[in-house]
Protein backbone atom coordinates (compact mmCIF):
# COMPACT_ATOMS: atom_id res chain seq x y z
CA UNK A 1 0.00 0.00 0.00
CA UNK A 2 1.15 3.58 -0.62
CA UNK A 3 1.43 5.37 2.71
CA UNK A 4 2.15 9.06 3.29
CA UNK A 5 3.41 10.00 6.75
CA UNK A 6 2.65 13.65 7.49
CA UNK A 7 5.28 15.02 9.88
CA UNK A 8 8.96 14.20 10.34
CA UNK A 9 9.13 14.29 14.15
CA UNK A 10 9.86 11.28 16.39
CA UNK A 11 6.51 9.56 15.76
CA UNK A 12 6.61 10.30 12.03
CA UNK A 13 10.11 8.87 11.59
CA UNK A 14 9.33 5.84 13.77
CA UNK A 15 6.20 5.03 11.73
CA UNK A 16 8.08 5.67 8.48
CA UNK A 17 10.84 3.22 9.40
CA UNK A 18 8.58 0.32 10.45
CA UNK A 19 5.83 0.80 7.85
CA UNK A 20 8.42 0.96 5.07
CA UNK A 21 9.35 -2.67 5.85
CA UNK A 22 6.05 -3.71 4.19
CA UNK A 23 4.78 -0.65 2.31
CA UNK A 24 5.82 2.10 -0.05
CA UNK A 25 6.31 5.03 2.34
CA UNK A 26 6.72 8.76 1.65
CA UNK A 27 7.48 11.15 4.51
CA UNK A 28 5.77 14.53 4.01
CA UNK A 29 7.56 17.29 5.87
CA UNK A 30 7.13 21.05 6.26
CA UNK A 31 10.79 21.87 5.55
CA UNK A 32 12.44 21.29 2.15
CA UNK A 33 15.81 20.41 3.77
CA UNK A 34 14.31 17.58 5.80
CA UNK A 35 12.50 16.18 2.76
CA UNK A 36 15.74 16.35 0.73
CA UNK A 37 17.72 14.60 3.49
CA UNK A 38 15.19 11.74 3.82
CA UNK A 39 14.96 11.41 0.04
CA UNK A 40 18.74 10.91 -0.23
CA UNK A 41 19.55 9.06 3.04
CA UNK A 42 16.30 7.26 3.92
CA UNK A 43 15.30 6.89 7.58
CA UNK A 44 17.63 5.52 10.25
CA UNK A 45 16.37 3.77 13.39
CA UNK A 46 18.53 3.30 16.50
CA UNK A 47 17.48 0.51 18.81
CA UNK A 48 19.40 -1.18 21.64
CA UNK A 49 22.70 0.26 20.45
CA UNK A 50 22.25 -0.83 16.80
CA UNK A 51 21.37 1.20 13.72
CA UNK A 52 18.97 0.13 10.96
CA UNK A 53 18.22 1.88 7.66
CA UNK A 54 15.05 1.98 5.60
CA UNK A 55 14.46 3.44 2.19
CA UNK A 56 11.69 6.08 2.17
CA UNK A 57 10.73 8.76 -0.31
CA UNK A 58 10.02 12.27 0.90
CA UNK A 59 8.33 15.49 -0.20
CA UNK A 60 6.58 18.59 1.06
CA UNK A 61 3.29 18.43 -0.86
CA UNK A 62 0.30 16.35 0.22
CA UNK A 63 -1.36 14.92 -2.89
CA UNK A 64 -3.98 12.32 -3.83
CA UNK A 65 -1.62 9.43 -4.53
CA UNK A 66 -1.85 7.67 -1.15
CA UNK A 67 -4.03 4.77 0.07
CA UNK A 68 -3.39 5.89 3.63
CA UNK A 69 -2.15 9.14 5.16
CA UNK A 70 -0.87 8.98 8.75
CA UNK A 71 -0.93 12.40 10.39
CA UNK A 72 1.74 12.58 13.10
CA UNK A 73 2.14 16.34 13.64
CA UNK A 74 1.21 17.79 17.03
CA UNK A 75 -2.33 18.96 17.57
CA UNK A 76 -1.41 22.65 17.46
CA UNK A 77 0.09 22.12 13.95
CA UNK A 78 -3.05 20.50 12.52
CA UNK A 79 -4.78 23.59 11.14
CA UNK A 80 -2.58 23.86 8.02
CA UNK A 81 -2.72 20.09 7.51
CA UNK A 82 -6.54 20.14 7.53
CA UNK A 83 -6.66 22.73 4.76
CA UNK A 84 -4.24 20.69 2.60
CA UNK A 85 -6.24 17.50 3.20
CA UNK A 86 -9.44 19.24 2.08
CA UNK A 87 -7.93 19.67 -1.40
CA UNK A 88 -7.18 15.99 -2.13
CA UNK A 89 -9.38 13.10 -3.29
CA UNK A 90 -11.15 10.90 -0.71
CA UNK A 91 -8.72 8.59 1.07
CA UNK A 92 -8.00 6.96 4.46
CA UNK A 93 -6.54 9.28 7.08
CA UNK A 94 -5.26 8.15 10.47
CA UNK A 95 -4.70 10.87 13.09
CA UNK A 96 -2.09 10.03 15.75
CA UNK A 97 -2.08 12.98 18.15
CA UNK A 98 -1.57 13.18 21.89
CA UNK A 99 -4.56 14.50 23.80
CA UNK A 100 -8.03 14.95 22.32
CA UNK A 101 -8.16 18.62 21.29
CA UNK A 102 -8.34 17.52 17.65
CA UNK A 103 -11.54 15.55 18.31
CA UNK A 104 -13.65 18.73 18.47
CA UNK A 105 -12.11 19.80 15.11
CA UNK A 106 -12.61 16.36 13.52
CA UNK A 107 -16.27 16.26 14.56
CA UNK A 108 -16.86 19.56 12.75
CA UNK A 109 -14.66 18.69 9.77
CA UNK A 110 -16.69 18.62 6.56
CA UNK A 111 -14.16 16.64 4.45
CA UNK A 112 -15.37 13.34 3.02
CA UNK A 113 -12.29 11.24 3.96
CA UNK A 114 -12.43 7.99 5.91
CA UNK A 115 -11.14 9.14 9.27
CA UNK A 116 -9.40 7.02 11.92
CA UNK A 117 -7.83 8.07 15.22
CA UNK A 118 -5.16 6.35 17.26
CA UNK A 119 -2.61 6.54 20.05
CA UNK A 120 1.12 5.89 20.10
CA UNK A 121 2.45 4.05 23.13
CA UNK A 122 6.07 3.81 21.98
CA UNK A 123 8.97 5.78 23.39
CA UNK A 124 10.82 7.53 20.56
CA UNK A 125 13.35 10.36 20.43
CA UNK A 126 14.16 12.20 17.21
CA UNK A 127 17.94 12.36 16.73
CA UNK A 128 18.15 14.34 13.49
CA UNK A 129 16.12 15.13 10.37
CA UNK A 130 16.50 11.51 9.27
CA UNK A 131 17.08 9.50 12.46
CA UNK A 132 15.00 8.36 15.42
CA UNK A 133 15.79 6.27 18.49
CA UNK A 134 13.23 3.66 19.54
CA UNK A 135 13.56 3.99 23.32
CA UNK A 136 10.51 2.04 24.48
CA UNK A 137 8.54 -0.69 22.73
CA UNK A 138 4.79 -0.20 22.99
CA UNK A 139 2.06 -0.30 20.34
CA UNK A 140 0.04 1.79 17.93
CA UNK A 141 -3.67 1.41 18.66
CA UNK A 142 -6.24 2.80 16.27
CA UNK A 143 -9.95 2.89 15.72
CA UNK A 144 -12.61 4.11 13.31
CA UNK A 145 -13.79 7.70 13.76
CA UNK A 146 -16.05 8.61 10.80
CA UNK A 147 -17.07 7.61 7.25
CA UNK A 148 -14.74 4.68 7.72
CA UNK A 149 -14.65 0.97 6.91
CA UNK A 150 -11.73 -0.42 8.87
CA UNK A 151 -11.65 -4.10 7.81
CA UNK A 152 -9.63 -3.71 4.60
CA UNK A 153 -7.18 -1.28 6.17
CA UNK A 154 -6.80 -3.49 9.22
CA UNK A 155 -5.93 -6.47 7.02
CA UNK A 156 -3.34 -4.43 5.12
CA UNK A 157 -1.70 -3.14 8.28
CA UNK A 158 -1.12 -6.64 9.68
CA UNK A 159 2.56 -7.59 9.83
CA UNK A 160 5.03 -9.64 11.86
CA UNK A 161 7.24 -7.00 13.42
CA UNK A 162 6.88 -7.72 17.13
CA UNK A 163 8.55 -4.44 18.07
CA UNK A 164 5.92 -2.35 16.29
CA UNK A 165 2.50 -3.91 16.95
CA UNK A 166 -0.51 -2.22 15.34
CA UNK A 167 -3.80 -3.02 17.07
CA UNK A 168 -7.31 -2.21 16.00
CA UNK A 169 -9.73 -1.23 18.79
CA UNK A 170 -13.51 -1.12 18.48
CA UNK A 171 -14.24 2.02 20.48
CA UNK A 172 -12.35 5.23 19.64
CA UNK A 173 -13.66 7.12 22.68
CA UNK A 174 -12.50 4.45 25.08
CA UNK A 175 -9.12 4.25 23.35
CA UNK A 176 -8.41 7.99 23.41
CA UNK A 177 -9.80 8.73 26.87
CA UNK A 178 -7.74 5.82 28.27
CA UNK A 179 -4.58 7.65 27.21
CA UNK A 180 -5.88 11.16 27.89
CA UNK A 181 -6.51 10.46 31.57
CA UNK A 182 -2.90 9.29 31.96
CA UNK A 183 -1.48 12.36 30.21
CA UNK A 184 -3.81 14.72 32.10
CA UNK A 185 -2.70 13.32 35.46
CA UNK A 186 1.04 13.11 34.78
CA UNK A 187 2.13 15.72 32.23
CA UNK A 188 0.91 19.12 33.58
CA UNK A 189 1.86 18.39 37.20
CA UNK A 190 5.35 17.16 36.33
CA UNK A 191 5.85 20.19 34.07
CA UNK A 192 4.72 22.63 36.73
CA UNK A 193 6.52 20.99 39.64
CA UNK A 194 9.59 20.19 37.46
CA UNK A 195 9.75 16.59 38.69
CA UNK A 196 10.17 13.15 37.11
CA UNK A 197 7.02 11.04 36.75
CA UNK A 198 7.83 8.79 39.73
CA UNK A 199 7.77 11.69 42.20
CA UNK A 200 4.01 12.01 41.73
CA UNK A 201 3.79 8.68 43.55
CA UNK A 202 6.45 9.16 46.21
CA UNK A 203 5.82 12.74 47.43
CA UNK A 204 2.51 12.64 49.37
CA UNK A 205 1.48 16.22 48.45
CA UNK A 206 2.05 15.57 44.72
CA UNK A 207 0.15 12.28 44.97
CA UNK A 208 -2.87 14.08 46.42
CA UNK A 209 -2.72 16.73 43.65
CA UNK A 210 -2.67 13.94 41.08
CA UNK A 211 -5.73 12.33 42.69
CA UNK A 212 -7.62 15.65 42.52
CA UNK A 213 -6.78 16.02 38.82
CA UNK A 214 -7.83 12.41 38.23
CA UNK A 215 -11.21 12.84 39.94
CA UNK A 216 -12.02 15.98 37.99
CA UNK A 217 -10.95 14.55 34.63
CA UNK A 218 -12.76 11.27 35.31
CA UNK A 219 -16.11 12.89 35.93
CA UNK A 220 -15.79 15.01 32.78
CA UNK A 221 -14.88 11.97 30.65
CA UNK A 222 -17.54 9.79 32.32
CA UNK A 223 -15.16 6.83 32.37
CA UNK A 224 -16.84 3.46 32.81
CA UNK A 225 -14.31 1.91 35.18
CA UNK A 226 -12.68 4.59 37.36
CA UNK A 227 -10.76 2.10 39.49
CA UNK A 228 -9.09 0.53 36.45
CA UNK A 229 -8.27 4.00 35.07
CA UNK A 230 -6.63 5.07 38.36
CA UNK A 231 -4.67 1.82 38.45
CA UNK A 232 -3.43 2.57 34.93
CA UNK A 233 -2.34 6.09 35.87
CA UNK A 234 -0.39 4.71 38.85
CA UNK A 235 1.12 1.91 36.76
CA UNK A 236 2.32 4.30 34.01
CA UNK A 237 3.82 6.60 36.66
CA UNK A 238 5.66 3.64 38.16
CA UNK A 239 6.83 2.23 34.80
CA UNK A 240 8.09 5.65 33.69
CA UNK A 241 9.29 6.80 37.11
CA UNK A 242 12.70 7.94 35.86
CA UNK A 243 11.30 9.76 32.80
CA UNK A 244 10.62 13.42 32.29
CA UNK A 245 7.15 13.76 30.77
CA UNK A 246 6.89 15.21 27.28
CA UNK A 247 5.30 18.37 28.74
CA UNK A 248 8.18 18.87 31.18
CA UNK A 249 10.63 18.42 28.28
CA UNK A 250 8.68 20.98 26.17
CA UNK A 251 8.51 23.53 28.99
CA UNK A 252 12.23 23.14 29.73
CA UNK A 253 13.08 23.55 26.04
CA UNK A 254 10.87 26.68 25.75
CA UNK A 255 8.56 24.96 23.23
CA UNK A 256 4.80 25.10 22.93
CA UNK A 257 3.30 22.28 25.01
CA UNK A 258 0.33 19.97 24.46
CA UNK A 259 -1.65 21.71 27.24
CA UNK A 260 -4.45 22.69 24.85
CA UNK A 261 -4.66 19.18 23.38
CA UNK A 262 -4.88 17.57 26.82
CA UNK A 263 -6.32 20.07 29.31
CA UNK A 264 -7.98 22.33 26.72
CA UNK A 265 -10.15 19.42 25.55
CA UNK A 266 -11.19 18.59 29.12
CA UNK A 267 -12.01 22.22 29.91
CA UNK A 268 -14.11 22.59 26.77
CA UNK A 269 -16.01 19.40 27.65
CA UNK A 270 -16.52 20.66 31.22
CA UNK A 271 -17.92 23.90 29.84
CA UNK A 272 -20.29 22.02 27.49
CA UNK A 273 -21.48 19.97 30.46
CA UNK A 274 -21.88 23.07 32.69
CA UNK A 275 -19.32 21.73 35.19
CA UNK A 276 -16.57 23.45 37.17
CA UNK A 277 -13.04 22.13 36.70
CA UNK A 278 -10.99 24.30 39.02
CA UNK A 279 -7.86 22.12 39.22
CA UNK A 280 -7.69 21.57 35.47
CA UNK A 281 -8.25 25.29 34.86
CA UNK A 282 -5.45 26.13 37.31
CA UNK A 283 -3.05 23.70 35.60
CA UNK A 284 -3.98 24.87 32.11
CA UNK A 285 -3.56 28.55 33.08
CA UNK A 286 -0.21 27.84 34.74
CA UNK A 287 1.26 25.89 31.80
CA UNK A 288 0.06 28.51 29.30
CA UNK A 289 1.72 31.20 31.47
CA UNK A 290 4.97 29.22 31.41
CA UNK A 291 4.72 29.01 27.60
CA UNK A 292 4.22 32.79 27.35
CA UNK A 293 7.13 33.52 29.70
CA UNK A 294 9.52 31.09 28.04
CA UNK A 295 12.15 33.74 27.26
CA UNK A 296 11.83 35.63 30.51
CA UNK A 297 15.00 35.89 32.59
CA UNK A 298 14.55 36.39 36.37
O1 LIG B 1 3.69 12.28 27.40
C2 LIG B 1 4.45 11.55 28.06
O3 LIG B 1 5.49 11.93 28.57
C4 LIG B 1 4.08 10.08 28.21
O5 LIG B 1 2.92 9.84 27.47
C6 LIG B 1 3.88 9.58 29.65
C7 LIG B 1 3.16 8.27 29.60
C8 LIG B 1 3.11 10.54 30.50
C9 LIG B 1 5.19 9.22 30.27
O10 LIG B 1 6.09 10.24 30.45
d(CA 238, CA 185): 13
| 20 and 112 housed in the same domain | yes
Q: Is residue 243 part of a domain?
A: yes
For the chain, percent of residues with pLDDT exceeding 70: 99
> Do the beta carbons of residue 166 and residue 18 sit within 8 Å?
no
Determine whether the shortest distance from the Cβ of 10 to ligand 1 is under 6 A: no
Query: Closest by alpha carbon to 255, among 295, 283, 210?
Result: 295
| 255 and 130 housed in the same domain | no
Is residue 172 pLDDT above 90, yes or no? yes
pLDDT score for 147: 86
Q: Sign of the CA dihedral 255, 261, 267, 271?
A: positive
For the chain, percent of residues with pLDDT exceeding 90: 93
pTM here? 0.93
Domain that holds residue 48: 2-170
Angle 276-172-191 (CA atoms, 0-180°, nearest 5)? 50
List, edge to edge, every strand of the sheet that includes 131-136. Answer: 50-54, 43-47, 131-136, 123-126
Tell me how far the alpha carbon of residue 287 lies from the centroid of ligand 1, in angstroms.
Answer: 16
Query: Closest by alpha carbon to 184, among 216, 206, 142?
Result: 216
Mean pLDDT to the nearest integer, 23-28: 98
Give 136-153 as a DSSP string.
E---EEEEEEES--HHHH
Q: Is residue 297 part of a domain?
A: no
Q: What is the mean pLDDT of the chain?
A: 95
pLDDT score for 127: 97
pLDDT score for 224: 87
Please identify, among 137, 170, 203, the residue that sits at the C-terminal boundary of a domain. 170
Please identify, among 153, 170, 187, the residue that sits at the C-terminal boundary of a domain. 170
| 160 and 178 housed in the same domain | no
Residue nearest to atom 3 of ligand 1 (CA): 245
Mean pLDDT to the nearest integer, 146-166: 90
pLDDT score for 297: 60
Which of 191, 197, 233 most suits a substitution to test ligand 1, by most atoms within 8 Å of the C-beta? 197
pLDDT score for 298: 62
| 100 and 202 housed in the same domain | no
pLDDT digits (tens, 9 = 90+) for 176-206: 999 999 999 999 999 999 999 999 999 999 9
pLDDT digits (tens, 9 = 90+) for 225-284: 999 999 999 999 999 999 999 999 999 999 999 999 999 999 999 999 999 999 999 999
Determine whether the shortest distance from the Cβ of 243 to ligand 1 is under 6 A: yes
pLDDT score for 159: 84
- Per DSSP bridges, beta strands 92-95 and 68-71 are parallel
Is residue 296 pLDDT above 90, yes or no? no
Element at 36 (helix H, strand E) = helix 32-41
Beta-carbon contacts of 243 under 8 Å, excluding residues fewer than 6 positions away, are 196, 197
Angle 140-49-18 (CA atoms, 0-180°, nearest 5)? 30
Determine whether the shortest distance from the Cβ of 246 to ligand 1 is under 6 A: yes
Give 43-104 as a DSSP string.
EEEEETTEEEEE--EEES---S--SEEEE-S-GGGHHHHHHHHTTS-S-EEEE--SSSHHHH
pLDDT score for 164: 96
Residue nearest to atom 4 of ligand 1 (CA): 245
* Active-site amino acid positions: 179
| 57 and 133 housed in the same domain | yes
Q: Is residue 225 part of a domain?
A: yes
Determine whether the shortest distance from the Cβ of 192 to ligand 1 is under 6 A: no
| 47 and 188 housed in the same domain | no
pLDDT digits (tens, 9 = 90+) for 55-97: 999 999 999 999 999 999 999 999 999 999 999 999 999 999 9
* Total domains, the chain: 2
Determine whether the shortest distance from the Cβ of 261 to ligand 1 is under 6 A: no
Element at 4 (helix H, strand E) = strand 2-6
Q: Sign of the CA dihedral 180, 186, 191, 192?
A: positive
d(CA 221, CA 122): 24
| 19 and 163 housed in the same domain | yes
Tell me how far the alpha carbon of residue 215 lies from the centroid of ligand 1, in angstroms.
Answer: 19
| 106 and 250 housed in the same domain | no
Q: Is residue 238 part of a domain?
A: yes
Beta-carbon contacts of 98 under 8 Å, excluding residues fewer than 6 positions away, are 74, 75, 119, 120, 179, 183, 246, 258, 261, 262
Mean pLDDT to the nearest integer, 292-297: 73
Task: Report CA dihedral (60, 64, 66, 70) to the nearest 10 degrees.
Answer: 60
Is residue 160 pLDDT above 90, yes or no? no
For residue 179, the ligand 1 atom closest to its alpha carbon is 5
Task: Report CA dihedral (95, 125, 136, 216) to the nearest 10 degrees.
Answer: -60
Checking phi first, is residue 49 left (phi over 0); if not, alpha (psi -120 to 50) or beta? left
Instruction: Dump strand ranges (E) for 96-203.
Output: 114-120, 123-126, 131-136, 140-146, 166-168
| 121 and 243 housed in the same domain | no
pLDDT score for 149: 81
Q: Is residue 295 part of a domain?
A: no
CATH number at residue 272: 1.10.1040.10
- pLDDT confidence bin for 31, thresholds 50/70/90: very high
Calculate the alpha carbon distances from 12 to 56, 152, 219, 240, 280 in Å.
12, 23, 33, 22, 30
| Residues forming beta bridges with residue 120, ordered by sequence position | 140
Q: Is residue 15 part of a domain?
A: yes
Amino acid sequence: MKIGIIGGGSVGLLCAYYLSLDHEVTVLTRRDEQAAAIQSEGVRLYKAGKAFNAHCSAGTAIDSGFDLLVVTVKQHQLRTVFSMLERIKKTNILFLQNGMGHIHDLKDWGADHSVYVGVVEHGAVRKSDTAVEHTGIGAIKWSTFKHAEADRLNAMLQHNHSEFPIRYEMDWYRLLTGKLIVNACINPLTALLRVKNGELLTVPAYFSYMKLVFQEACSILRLEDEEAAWERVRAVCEQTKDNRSSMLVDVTAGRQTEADAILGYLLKEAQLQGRDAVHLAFLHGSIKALERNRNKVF
